[in-house]
Structure 1
Amino acid sequence: MNKNLGNENQKTTESGELRKLGFGMMRLPRRGVNIDLERTGRMVDLFMEAGFTYFDTAFIYPGSENAVRRALVERYPRERYQLATKLYAGVMPTAGAAKREFASSLRKTGAGFFDYYLLHSLRGSNVKKYEKFGLWDFVGEQKEKGLIRNIGFSFHDGPELLDEILTKHPETDFVQLQINYADWDDTRVSARANYETARRHGKPVVIMEPVKGGRLADPPKEVKQLLLEYAPGASCASWALRFAASLEGVLTVLSGMSTEEQVMENIRLLAEPEPLNREEQRIIRRVRAIMGASKEIPCTACGYCLEQCPKEIPIPDIFTAMNSWLGAGQAAEAQTQYEAATKGGSGAGDCIRCGACEEICPQQIEIRKELAAAAEKFAGSRRDEK
């Protein structure tokens, strides 16, 4: 483990660990098409005042790095926070173009250096590109220059590939994994197996999607009833956050927060995270079985697919509409949601089946298949009547 992890420049708990809540800056509030900087600043203030200091952004999050500069970097001393950002090679045509992302991120954030720097969204379809472009050596050079404190990568594949990468690159300081109770034994996400692989290599873990893009904050009716029966005063999201924070070797748990209320709720839950007790763990196993039988589309609304779709189809919003029907049987509400999502733009039936969205989807969703089903389901809509 890098000696910088948990060093004296970081806000830590008395045990020397980072606080177990990180601010994921992918889903910041917006005013029209632009990030609402005033609200983002208030959210940053609430987060910092509560003693939490880890912020996570990325080159490919539209407007996020600039918002980090305005809401955080220009308003707080550099030693008071830790900043993570990422280099995504997936859509870059050359090694030079990929490497220029680092300089762009430094310029946009104005941070001077990055406490945590990640190669973004590694998986079987792109891992060779990161090697071919020499990006492991590149980030190592930036670390030697003092521009990076800790090198890591975010990962969306299986444990065999994760083991291969960590064996080849022992210089890795940490790994960012998608972990939540719903995905724990899901063979598409391999949350448990990936977590155990990272720990076997002695790598600290940053957890992303602990609430599965908000889906575990508002789970299916049967799940919600089960959780509320045991703890009437606890939110459904609290179960997901506590599950993630309970795991050993976790550096911090990222939450993509969009409102001041979400910041306050997460601060309350993770200021002193209480591990799940034995009965709560049993309930989570029951919940996992229920959700494993669900036909809902496992979309977390990360929006990566939107960057690739040549027809500008609002894929996450369409899947939200589909899940209202698949998960809750709310056909009328689903139709209304679909009409609102596609009003004045492309619908599910406009998909040209190019597959660009599937190449980048972290959840490995068969997007073309699901869009075809949505086009059939909503065939009476203005956009999809053929």
Structure 2
Amino acid sequence: MDENKNREMNRRDFLKIVGVSAAASTAALYGCSSDGKPASSEAAALGEVPTDKMTYRTSPTGDKVSLLGYGCMRWPLKPAPDADGNVIDQDAVNELVDYAIAHGVNYFDTSPVYCQGFSERATGVALKRHPREKLLIATKMSNFQNYTRENSIKMYHQSLKELQTDYLDYYLLHSIGGGEGIKTFHDRYIDNGVLDFLLEEREAGRIRNLGWSFHGYTDVFDYLLSLDVKWDFVQIQMNYADWRHASGRNVNAEYLYAELEKRNIPVVIMEPLLGGRLSKLNDHLVARLKQRRPENSVASWAFRFAGSYPDVLCVLSGMTYMEHLQDNLRTYSPLEPLTDEEKDFLEETAQLMLKFPTIPCNDCKYCMPCPYGLDIPAILVHYNKCVNEGNVPKSSQDKNYSEARRAFLVGYDRSVPKLRQASHCTGCGQCNPHCPQSIDIPKQLVRIDEYVEQLKQGTL
């Protein structure tokens, strides 16, 4: 009990420290201009957003599910947290939710750990203002730290309370496949009787659909499908880059989808934009996509890919700004499925992406808080942004060396406070087990810090 209290106090202290920089990190991911407002982007297509053309998929339980689902992992943040640590701008959340529902979105996905622990509360406040029977609410058993039956069941009941509902439409065992694989799954859900409890809750109707989200190795994925459990759905990472070229701990999405399709298990998609990276491609790849469909956003290609597979029930997107919500609504109102030729075109695009050395960070913030105060996601996001913009010179002989050097260093100091930069990494490795992408985070931070020092000294 004392350990849990200490952990909670540490989290509160962390919230006070990082409120401002967390907002800045999220803004950087989605391409904010220097004044903190969304940059005018190609994502906002011309014309009105349709209100009655959303594409829906029907689940085996009869739910009519909007193909576009709202991922509540990246709600708009305040410049600084409230006294209780709340970092979320509730008025902005309400506006986004209202607009989404008015334009056909009915699936909302959250977790007890999203937005530094405040996503469920903000989501519950926003959704409570709408008829419950018209909504499909999804959340997760995110018992990463404390596996006890008591703590896990407490987390489940707290989710119901925060979301202000007495039942959940979709409930997930969160991020299966991490840690020690099958052993960790047993620790979290089998040996403590938590899975049996959740199956009883489904039988009682308080959970309408039970499934799991996956970040892991093939053996864990196959093991869960071999259990004598009826899974109502499974959530996987799927996009045209990961379809055949998944990195780290993740399995190629082509395999995952095929195994679920064989078993008639509906698929919910996370990371259709690969943590935003498929909407922030380098100029060469942007031109490649724009040449084919100049009127459509770069992101729309990724959403069309995810939605084109018939067993996909819903595609989640964490939409921080209204322009992103509007663009995705246009893409799915209605969906224009990819042709086979367009799928081949995106596979070629994915192969081209492999030639650019970005770090597979999705800005999920599972690695946070760092015990030494680093803003790990902001560091990695800044590096990737500079790679995509061509601002990572390899040599002082590069034509754009001076301009790229300044852009990297000035942008680094603006997006990551000096005391939270990579130079302060001690290599403790506490972050690594929490990364769904299996990034060797300390190794990457050391590499980035050495690169920064070379830029500062002009020794490349």
The TM-score with structure 2 as length reference comes to: 0.77
Aligned residue in 1 for 2:408: 334
Q: Write the distance in 2 (CA, Å) between the matches of 1:343 and 1:358.
A: 22
Residues 102-127 of structure 1: CA distance to partner in whole angstroms, max 9, x if unpaired? 01111111111100000100114232
Equivalent residue runs for 1:62-101 within 5 Å:
62-73=117-128, 75-92=129-146, 94-101=148-155
Structure ranking higher on relative contact order (CA contacts 8 Å, 6+ apart): 2
TM-aligned CA distance change 1:187 to 1:43, over 3 Å? closer
1:135 matched to 2:194? The reply is: yes
Secondary structure at 1:143 match in 2 = helix
CA radius of gyration, larger in: 2
1:286 matched to 2:348? The reply is: yes
1:46 matched to 2:99? The reply is: yes
TM-superposed CA distance for 1:203, in Å, is 1.0
TM-superposed CA distance for 1:182, in Å, is 0.8
Greater CA deviation, 144-153 or 161-170? Answer: 161-170
Aligned residues between the structures = 370
TM-aligned CA distance change 1:278 to 1:201, over 3 Å? closer
TM-superposed CA distance for 1:364, in Å, is 1.3
TM-superposed CA distance for 1:55, in Å, is 0.2
Q: Write the distance in 1 (CA, Å) between the matches of 2:427 and 2:152.
A: 27
Aligned residue in 2 for 1:313: 374
> Please, which of 439, 449, 460 is the counterpart of residue 365 of structure 1?
439
Secondary structure at 1:212 match in 2 = coil
Residues 140-187 of structure 1: CA distance to partner in whole angstroms, max 9, x if unpaired? 122122211000100001333211111114321110000000111124
Secondary structure at 2:145 match in 1 = coil
Contact 1:314 1:341 in 2 (8 A): no
1:170 matched to 2:247? The reply is: no
Aligned residue in 2 for 1:267: 329
Q: Write the distance in 2 (CA, Å) between the matches of 1:178 and 1:196.
A: 13
Secondary structure at 2:317 match in 1 = strand
Structure 2 unmatched runs, 5+: 1-57, 82-86, 392-404
Secondary structure at 1:184 match in 2 = helix
Q: Write the distance in 2 (CA, Å) between the matches of 1:199 and 1:294.
A: 32
Q: Write the distance in 2 (CA, Å) between the matches of 1:354 and 1:134.
A: 33
Greater CA deviation, 297-306 or 326-335? Answer: 326-335
TM-superposed CA distance for 1:208, in Å, is 0.3
> Please, which of 209, 216, 219 is the counterpart of residue 160 of structure 1?
219
Aligned residue in 1 for 2:69: 22
Aligned residue in 2 for 1:56: 109
Aligned residue in 2 for 1:31: 78
Secondary structure at 1:287 match in 2 = helix
Contact 1:159 1:193 in 2 (8 A): no
Structure 1 unmatched runs, 5+: 13-17
Matched letter for residue 317 of structure 1: A
1:191 matched to 2:246? The reply is: no
Equivalent residue runs for 1:250-261 within 5 Å:
250-261=312-323
Greater CA deviation, 88-97 or 57-66? Answer: 88-97
Greater CA deviation, 133-142 or 233-242? Answer: 133-142
Which segments of structure 1 move beyond 4 Å, counting only runs of 4 or more?
Answer: none
Q: Write the distance in 2 (CA, Å) between the matches of 1:363 and 1:162.
A: 16
The TM-score with structure 1 as length reference comes to: 0.91
Q: Write the distance in 1 (CA, Å) between the matches of 2:246 and 2:292.
A: 29
Q: Write the distance in 2 (CA, Å) between the matches of 1:324 and 1:206.
A: 28
TM-superposed CA distance for 1:6, in Å, is 5.6
Q: Write the distance in 2 (CA, Å) between the matches of 1:169 and 1:210.
A: 30
Contact 1:123 1:155 in 2 (8 A): yes
TM-superposed CA distance for 1:93, in Å, is 5.1
TM-superposed CA distance for 1:69, in Å, is 1.6
Q: Write the distance in 2 (CA, Å) between the matches of 1:52 and 1:228.
A: 27
Q: What root-mean-square deviation, in Å, do the aligned CA atoms of Structure 1 and Structure 2 show?
A: 1.9
